[in-house]
Every structure is written in C-alpha cells, then in structure tokens.
C-alpha cells in the first residue's frame, strides 16, 4: 500500500509513510509524511492529514485509516474491517480545518459481538458520508449561543460571576446532525437489478472487498478521483 500511495501525484508523495499501530486484537494504519499536518477530526480525535490539493496557503487535505481485526484460530488470522478517506479544507498550519466528507469501505466482519455482517444494516458499501453541514451548523449554533449569553451576562449583575466559564461550556456542547450518518452508496447496481427495500438483501449496493489488491486499487483510485474533481 505504501508504494501505491507514494506513486500518487501528491506533494512530496515519495516520502509518504504508513504508520501501523498493532495490538493483540487489531492493527490500525494511517499515513504521515513531510507535508502532513495534524487536524481535528469529527468523531475521530486528532489525525494526520496529507495535502490533496494546495493553492497558495490553503487547500484540501485527506486522512486515511484502515483497520484489520485479529481472529484467533482462523486460517487467515487477520480480517479486513474498514478503510476510509476523510477530506478536509483549510489553511496550511491550521489544526481547525473543516471536515467536508468521507469515502469509506467497510467489510463483512463482527460489527456486533458474536455476529458477522455489515456495518449499518441496509446501508451501501462502499459509501460516502457528508460532514460539512454539521460543522457549519455547529459554528452557527455556538455563535448564536454566545451572543445570547453575552447579552444575558451584560444585563444581569447576578450572573456576572459565571463569566467566561459559562461561555466556554456553551461553546463546547456537542451537536449532531443525524443526516450526516447517512450512507450514500458508491457501487449501487439498482439500474441493473433493482431493489425491493429488504435490508436483509442488500447485495446490489453492499459489497465487500475480496482481496488486498481490490482495497489498494479502490483507495488509490478514490484519492485520484477526489483530487481531479476538487481541481475543477
């Protein structure tokens, strides 16, 4: 995978490095390199993001994460769980880049203890998920809340002691747009086979990779496609 990523037309791509994090139960891989920066990912903590397309001092960035789970006693002890790219927009050197969207490919694995199946039953895989509106909504909500609290604090002597602490707490409350959890399939074959809505029969829009080559080709093609489209 590292060789395939280094062949992409990205800034200093020849120095991209995959960093695997091994435990007894799983391995999670991400990428870094001389052009990478740490950014804050929604529902994902801080991640290493690599430039996808830069213009002047800003541009688009992407993070990549892939996970394999250890299956004791299996002929093939490592089972693919998921691979995905998250795209951000922001300035060079700023950790507060806007998370725009994700393209993800989960496999058939134990998403619920003791069972094998799909993540989010009935959803499409691989799929896109969109995050930008939730982040914009959160910013608007914080600005509105802060404005209301500032007006309250400035008009009431009894609330002066709460001061900046109240403002900080109001600005940090989580807000979730449920539609950002929707899975938009990228390999749906509805035009050819149709679908009757049965979430137990999702083979026309839920597909698992069958080997490592498929995962590698899907990932590199997705990055190239995103770069080409963003350049337009």
- What is the pLDDT of the chain when averaged over all its residues? 85
The rounded distance, in Å, linking the Cα atoms of 60 and 69 is 31
Other C-beta atoms within 10 Å of 50: how many? 24
The rounded distance, in Å, linking the Cα atoms of 223 and 177 is 26
Model confidence pLDDT, tens digit, residues 178-223: 677 889 999 999 999 999 999 999 999 999 999 999 999 999 999 9
Percent pLDDT > 90 in the chain is 61
Does 163 share its domain with 219? no
Residue 29, pLDDT above cutoff 70: yes
Boundaries of domain holding 172:
132-176
Instruction: Assign 170 a pLDDT band (cuts: 50, 70, 90).
Output: very low
pLDDT at 186: 95
Does 6 share its domain with 91? yes
Does 167 share its domain with 92? no
Does 215 share its domain with 103? yes
Model confidence pLDDT, tens digit, residues 126-166: 999 998 766 665 555 655 666 666 666 666 555 445 455 54
Does 9 share its domain with 100? yes
Q: How many domains does the chain have?
A: 2
> Three-state SS across 101-144?
EEEEEECCECCCCCCCECCCCCCCECEEEECHHHHHHHHHHHHH
Q: Classify residue 187: in a domain, yes or no.
A: no
């Amino acid at each position: 995978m590292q060789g395939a990523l280094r062949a992409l037309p990205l800034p200093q791509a020849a120095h991209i490095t995959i960093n695997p994090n091994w435990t007894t139960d799983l391995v999670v891989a991400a990428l870094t390199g001389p052009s990478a920066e740490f950014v804050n990912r929604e529902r994902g903590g801080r991640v290493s993001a690599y430039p996808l397309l830069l213009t002047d001092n800003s541009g688009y960035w992407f993070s990549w994460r892939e996970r394999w789970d250890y299956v004791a006693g299996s002929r093939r002890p490592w089972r693919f769980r998921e691979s995905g790219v998250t795209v951000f927009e922001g300035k060079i050197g700023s950790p507060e880049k806007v998370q725009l969207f994700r393209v993800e490919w989960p496999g058939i694995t134990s998403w619920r203890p003791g069972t094998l199946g799909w993540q989010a039953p009935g959803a499409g895989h691989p799929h896109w998920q969109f995050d930008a509106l939730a982040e914009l909504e959160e910013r608007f909500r914080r600005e509105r809340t802060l404005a209301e609290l500032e007006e309250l604090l400035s008009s009431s002597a009894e609330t002066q002691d709460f001061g900046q602490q109240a403002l900080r707490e109001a600005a940090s409350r989580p807000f979730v747009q449920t539609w950002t959890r929707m899975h938009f399939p990228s390999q749906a074959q509805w035009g050819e086979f149709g679908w009757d809505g049965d979430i137990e029969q999702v083979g026309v829009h839920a597909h698992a990779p069958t080997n490592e080559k498929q995962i590698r080709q899907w990932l590199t093609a997705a990055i190239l496609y995103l770069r080409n489209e963003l350049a337009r």
